[in-house]
Amino acid sequence: VLLRADLNVPAENGTITDTTRIDRLKPTIDYLVKNGAKTMVISHYGRPKGVTPEFSQAFMLPALKQSWGVDVTFAEDCIGPKAEDAKNKLHAGQVVLLENVRFHPEEEKNDAGFARELAKLGDLFVNDAFGTAHRAHASNVGIASNLESAAGFLMEKEIKFIGGAVDEPVRPFVAILGGAKVSDKIGVIKHLLNKADKVLIGGGMAYTFMKAQGLEIGKSLLEADKVELAKELLESAGDKLILPIDAKMAHEFGNDVEITIAKNEEFPADQMALDIGPASVELFAKELEGAKTVVWNGPMGVFELSNFAQGTIGVCEAIAKLNDAVTIIGGGDSAAAAMQLGFADDFTHISTGGGASLEYLEGKELPGVASISDK
Ligand code: AMP
């Protein structure tokens, strides 16, 4: 079985700093091992330009062994004689990790010949790499046209929770969007305004919306070229779109800075809003009460600084309190925030895909999902 995994894990000086992506693959590995498959794991790591030793995946072996509870060997290439040799040595129930598939430039070109070379190694293809599903590459899309393919358990979960929440939500359905820029999330805002009952907007992008309302936002993050769009969205959304009503402000980024709590109409001209304020947390918590489906993408403020994490913590707490609700974090920074702030267990599902979950939340079909024959 060729298993496409997403092992593009965060690492510093050769040490993996967050093993979530590895841990979440365990159900698929367990299934394959128990059923006697010979498993060859394909992944990419980082953005190497050709063969680049610092992007070798070999350093992951101890973490994989520890997380998956099986021995994992390594092959120094993902195609050709080294991969063939590793395959020939595999016994039922054993796992080998192949070297970074992006060492071959053909991978990102979805080259048909390269996809065939990969496919030659196995009888079946299992795609469990949701994090790459928004890309049409050889190891997730091309390969699937050469072999019978199925979704892995992590991929299945991502499709079920993110797709299910947006397309068939139990109502009330509340979406919370934050993060730095409106421009990164226009598609998501538009799509969720169509699908959700309420859309709460926090984070840096809220201030472009406030500017569109004619408010003075001081030195807060502004995308001047998105003010018109924000106006249109505000008009068409009516009371479905909820903005913060106060902010935690400062003269500069930092933890040792003086903080001002200001209502929307009273933003000091020389300060920037770095988090939603306490009244906004209360408002957002109230809007979340009784929600049965919650989708959250993007932090409410600069959560990396403890002084400006309260908004994001407040939203996490409000979501954690919900009864019988399906609560989903659509990957990226909000997933990191929830985990870093200690709320990882309070959500139904935290997506492992940043870009992929964002595109999924925009309602786009993901090539890595579309290419799987048995979903
Ligand atoms: P994104 O990747 O779009 O979800 O944005 C996440 C980033 O937005 C985080 O690094 C936050 O620190 C940043 N961010 C959130 N709120 C603000 C804000 N009010 N001003 C500046 N940056 C912010």
Q: How many CB atoms lie within 10 A of CB 326?
A: 19
Of the listed ranges 5-19, 123-137, 322-336, the least confidently predicted one is: 322-336
Nearest CA to ligand 1 atom 3: 179
Q: pLDDT averaged over the chain?
A: 95
Residues 6+ apart with CB under 8 A from 250: 257, 258, 259, 260, 271, 272, 274, 307, 308
Q: What is the pLDDT of residues 69-98, one digit of tens each?
A: 999 999 999 999 999 999 999 999 999 999
Compute, in angstroms, the gap from residue 196 CA to the centroid of ligand 1: 23
Of the listed ranges 212-216, 289-293, 353-357, the least confidently predicted one is: 353-357
Compute, in angstroms, the gap from residue 230 CA to the centroid of ligand 1: 18
Pair 275, 264: CB distance under 8 Å: no
Q: What is the pLDDT of residues 345-373, one digit of tens each?
A: 999 999 988 889 999 999 999 999 999 98
Give the per-residue pLDDT at 374.
75
Residues with a known catalytic role: 21, 181, 332, 355
Give the per-residue pLDDT at 336.
85
What is the average per-residue pLDDT within 155-166?
A: 92
Structure tokens at 372: 């799987």
Judged against a pLDDT cut of 90, whether residue 1 lies above it is answered with: yes
What is the average per-residue pLDDT within 220-235?
A: 97
Give the per-residue pLDDT at 310.
96
Distances (CA, A) of 47 to 50, 80, 246: 9, 22, 40
Ligand 1 pocket check: which of 333, 351, 358, 362 to mutate, most ligand atoms within 8 Å of Cβ?
333
* pTM to 2 decimal places: 0.91
Of the listed ranges 100-109, 277-286, 326-335, the least confidently predicted one is: 326-335
Give the per-residue pLDDT at 66.
98
Give the per-residue pLDDT at 189.
95
Angle between helices 310-320 and 332-340 (to 10 degrees): 80
Judged against a pLDDT cut of 90, whether residue 244 lies above it is answered with: yes
| 284/11 Cα distance (integer angstroms) | 34
Q: What percent of the chain has pLDDT over 90?
A: 91
Judged against a pLDDT cut of 80, whether residue 332 lies above it is answered with: no
- Residues whose beta carbon lies within 6 Å of some atom of ligand 1: 179-181, 184, 203-204, 221, 273-274, 298-299, 301-302, 304, 332-333
Ligand 1 pocket check: which of 219, 295, 302, 341 to mutate, most ligand atoms within 8 Å of Cβ?
302
| 316/337 Cα distance (integer angstroms) | 9
- Which of 322, 286, 285 lies closest to 300 in space, CA to CA? 285
Give the per-residue pLDDT at 323.
87
What is the average per-residue pLDDT within 121-149?
A: 97
| 20/93 Cα distance (integer angstroms) | 23
Top pLDDT among 353 and 2 is at 2
Judged against a pLDDT cut of 90, whether residue 339 lies above it is answered with: no
- Which of 342, 290, 355 lies closest to 321 in space, CA to CA? 290
What is the average per-residue pLDDT within 332-352?
A: 89
pLDDT category at 291 given cuts 50, 70, 90 is very high
